[in-house]
């Protein structure tokens, strides 16, 4: 092992090969559920160094685990406990390479923090719409590697939809220079889409060209109380018809999820949560004016009130109030963590079937585990729910997770499949869901995926054990 460490130090410098001391920042996953042991953490400073690191590791038969901000939720960037894997951290590669305003694109390195992209675009009077709770620490390489979603997918799509081109280091250490800012390029297979969502199992994304948009003249936020999930879906239909492309966010939150925020963060005021089964957070982006946006919102809410799909609503009066409402939504996972260990699900179901899915799956779980508490929230606008399961109120959360996780997952994922959904909407597969993917993905799809993996990484040294078992 000393030989490979010497070779890596020769590539990136001794200061950027970490093999001793506390490496928990790279070896412990975001949820603190998986802890590995790396041979070393290597921090290249440019694409050439990444390619050289890959060649050195391939020659030595050492597998690589690419890592960005280490904010993933499915164990996709945590090394195993063998002590024989190299974590390749891209955090030093964080430059904004180019901003092309006429083309509405920005080219950035993979280690660039998502918030940096947002702020760089904003300074230029433009919008980069990808928005996640971890945007202050997650990186664009990780966002693309997992095809991240977030709160504005209903209007702008996932990370895949925002990417025009990639620079990638292959499993052989070659550099594919595909940083095109073209919106039309029909010259064969779309290699870009192979690497987006592949979680580092096919190659290492080192840079990307991303789409930008004109900055809206106004963004307004509303919070509405809805009597049922059916009413939330009805409200979504009204919003689509009345706001059109202006609808940029549509989040649903169950009463229990919001009660956890009120319990653990009492300084935050949670509107209406005690009086209604669900609340909805809507965002309307308008390219005319704030006055026009507010008129649209008020007209929509009046119609919804008349139809009975909302019982109360408030529109943020200013940016500070809007941020407070979004902060409530983003505080749900933090409040869950304060309540204790829980079983998380990142699932998607056709929007029209979500009310029936929730009703049926709630019934299955409450019958199977009396007293179980359901933390239901997520991006209803694009059919993505974080359908999480908390231990009974007086139960031991750690014991609940240990004893019930497999049973709960089986019930939830079988129900998702019954309703034509996906067991991973935006978090990816990682190591956590590899076995579940084999159960819920068709054999034909798995066969094609393995053929691609075999063709691009025949030695299975690029993030092995993630996404697919080979």
Residues 380, 281 contacting (CB under 8 angstroms): no
pLDDT in tens, 228-240: 999 999 999 999 9
Residue 182 covered by a domain: yes
Beta bridge partners of 177: 167
| CB contact burial 122-135 (16+ within 10 A = b; e otherwise) | eeeebbbbbbbbbb
Condensed to tens digits (0 to 9), the pLDDT of residues 132-178 reads 888 999 999 999 999 999 899 999 999 999 999 999 999 999 999 99
Q: What is the CATH number of the domain that holds 54?
A: 3.30.43.10
CB 168 within 8 A of CB 47: no
Q: Average of pLDDT values for 39-49?
A: 97
* Residue with token string 């909302």: 310
Domain that holds residue 226: 218-327
Does 165 reside within a domain?
yes
Cβ-based neighbour number of residue 338 at 10 Å: 13
Among 418, 446, 464, give the residue marking a domain's end. 418
Residue 361 lies in a domain: yes
Asked if the structure places residue 428 within a domain, the reply is: no
244/300 same-domain check: yes
Q: Is the domain of 225 the same as that of 317?
A: yes
> What is residue 289's predicted lDDT score, i.e. its pLDDT?
82
What DSSP string runs through 135-186?
Answer: TTT-BHHHHHHTT---TTHHHH--GGGGEEEEEEEETTS-EEEE----S---
**CB-CB contact of 76 with 70 (8 Å):** no
pTM equals 0.93
Structure tokens at 453: 């993996």
Q: Where are the alpha helices (DSSP H) in 77-130?
A: 114-123
| Cα separation, 85 vs 26, whole angstroms | 12
* Residue where one domain finishes, among candidates 278, 310, 327: 327
The tokens for 322 are: 């809007």
Mean pLDDT over residues 170-199, rounded?
95
Report the CATH number that the domain containing residue 227 is assigned in CATH.
3.30.70.2190
CATH of residue 114's domain is 3.30.465.10
String of DSSP letters for 371-432: T-EEEEEEEGGGTEEEEEEE--TTS-HHHHHHHHHHHHHHHHHHHHHHTT-BSBSSS--TTT
Buried b (16+ CB within 10 A) or exposed e, 355-379: bebbeebbeebeeebeebbbbbbbb
Task: State percent of the chain over pLDDT 90.
Answer: 87
Shared domain for 367 and 404, answered yes or no, is yes
DSSP at 35:
B
pLDDT tens-digit profile of 212-225? 999 998 889 999 99
Average pLDDT of span 37-44? 96
Q: Which residues contact 390 (CB under 8 A, 6 or more apart)?
A: 336, 339, 340, 342, 343, 372, 373, 374, 375, 397
The answer to the question of residue 460 being in a domain is no
Domain annotation covers residue 73:
yes
Q: Does 367 share its domain with 291?
A: no
Nearest to 90 by CA among 41, 27, 39, 146: 41
**Residue 284 clears pLDDT 90, i.e. is over it:** yes
Q: Are residues 118 and 51 in the same domain?
A: no
Q: Is residue 154 part of a domain?
A: yes
In a shared domain, residues 104 and 178: yes
Would you state the pLDDT for residue 32? Answer: 78
What's the pLDDT score for residue 278? 97
Whether 366 and 313 map to the same domain: the answer is no
Q: For residue 314, give the H/E element and its range.
A: strand 312-315
- Domain boundary residue, one of 68, 89, 110: 89
pLDDT(1) > 80: no
- Burial of residue 84 (number of CB atoms within 10 Å: 0-12, 13-18, 19+): middle
| Same domain (yes/no): 208, 233 | no
- 119 and 80 share a domain? no
**For residues 15-23, average pLDDT:** 93
| 274 and 380 inside one domain | no
> 188 with 222, same domain?
no
303 with 289, same domain: the answer is yes
How many separate domains does the chain show? 4
The per-residue pLDDT of the chain, averaged, comes to 94
Residue 178 contacts by C-beta under 8 Å, 6 or more apart in sequence?
165, 166, 167, 168, 191, 192
Rounded to whole angstroms, the Cα distance separating 283 from 239 reads 10
pLDDT digits (tens, 9 = 90+) for 325-361: 999 999 999 999 899 989 999 999 999 999 999 999 9
Indicate which CATH number applies to the domain containing 380: 3.30.70.2740
Say what the pLDDT of residue 371 is: 94
209 in a domain, yes or no?
yes
């Amino acid at each position: 092992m000393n030989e490979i460490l010497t070779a890596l130090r020769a590539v990136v410098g001794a200061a950027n090969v970490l093999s001793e001391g506390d490496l928990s920042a790279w070896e412990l996953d975001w949820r603190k559920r998986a802890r590995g042991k790396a041979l070393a953490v290597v921090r290249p400073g440019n694409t050439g160094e990444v390619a050289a690191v890959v060649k050195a590791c391939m020659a030595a038969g050492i597998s690589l685990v690419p890592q960005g901000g280490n904010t993933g939720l499915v164990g996709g960037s945590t090394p195993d406990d063998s002590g024989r894997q190299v974590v390749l951290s891209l955090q030093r590669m964080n430059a904004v390479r180019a901003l092309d305003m006429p083309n509405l694109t920005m080219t950035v390195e993979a280690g660039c923090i998502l918030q940096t992209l947002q702020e760089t675009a904003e300074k230029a009077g433009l919008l980069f719409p990808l928005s996640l709770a971890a945007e202050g620490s997650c990186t664009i390489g990780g966002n693309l590697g997992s095809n991240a979603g977030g709160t504005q997918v209903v209007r702008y799509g996932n990370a895949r939809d925002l990417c025009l081109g990639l620079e990638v280091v292959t499993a052989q250490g070659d550099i594919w220079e595909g940083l095109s800012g073209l919106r039309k390029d029909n010259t064969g297979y779309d290699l870009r889409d192979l690497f987006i969502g592949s979680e580092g199992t096919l190659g290492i994304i080192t840079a990307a060209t991303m789409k930008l948009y004109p900055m809206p003249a106004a963004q307004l936020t509303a919070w509405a109380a809805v009597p049922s999930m059916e009413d939330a879906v009805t409200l979504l239909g009204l919003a689509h018809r009345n706001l059109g492309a202006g609808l940029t966010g549509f989040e649903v939150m169950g009463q229990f999820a919001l009660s956890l925020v009120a319990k653990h963060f009492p300084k935050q005021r949670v509107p209406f949560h005690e009086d209604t089964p669900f609340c909805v957070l809507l965002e309307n982006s308008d390219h005319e004016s704030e006055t026009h946006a507010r008129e649209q919102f008020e007209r929509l809410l009046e119609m919804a009130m008349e139809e009975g799909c909302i019982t109360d609503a408030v529109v943020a009066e200013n940016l500070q109030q809007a941020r407070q409402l979004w902060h409530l939504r983003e505080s749900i996972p933090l409040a869950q963590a304060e309540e204790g260990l829980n079983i998380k699900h990142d699932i998607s179901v056709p929007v029209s079937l979500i009310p029936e899915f929730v009703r049926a799956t709630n019934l299955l779980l409450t019958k199977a585990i009396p007293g179980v508490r359901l933390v239901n929230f997520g991006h209803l606008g694009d059919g993505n729910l974080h359908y999480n399961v908390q231990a009974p109120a007086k139960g031991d959360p750690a014991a609940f997770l240990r004893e019930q996780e497999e049973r709960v997952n089986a019930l939830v994922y079988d129900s998702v499949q019954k309703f034509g959904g996906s067991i991973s909407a935006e978090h990816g597969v990682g190591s956590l869901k590899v076995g579940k993917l084999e159960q819920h993905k068709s054999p034909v799809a798995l066969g094609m995926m393995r053929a691609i993996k075999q063709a691009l990484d025949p030695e299975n040294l690029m993030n092995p054990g993630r996404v697919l078992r080979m």
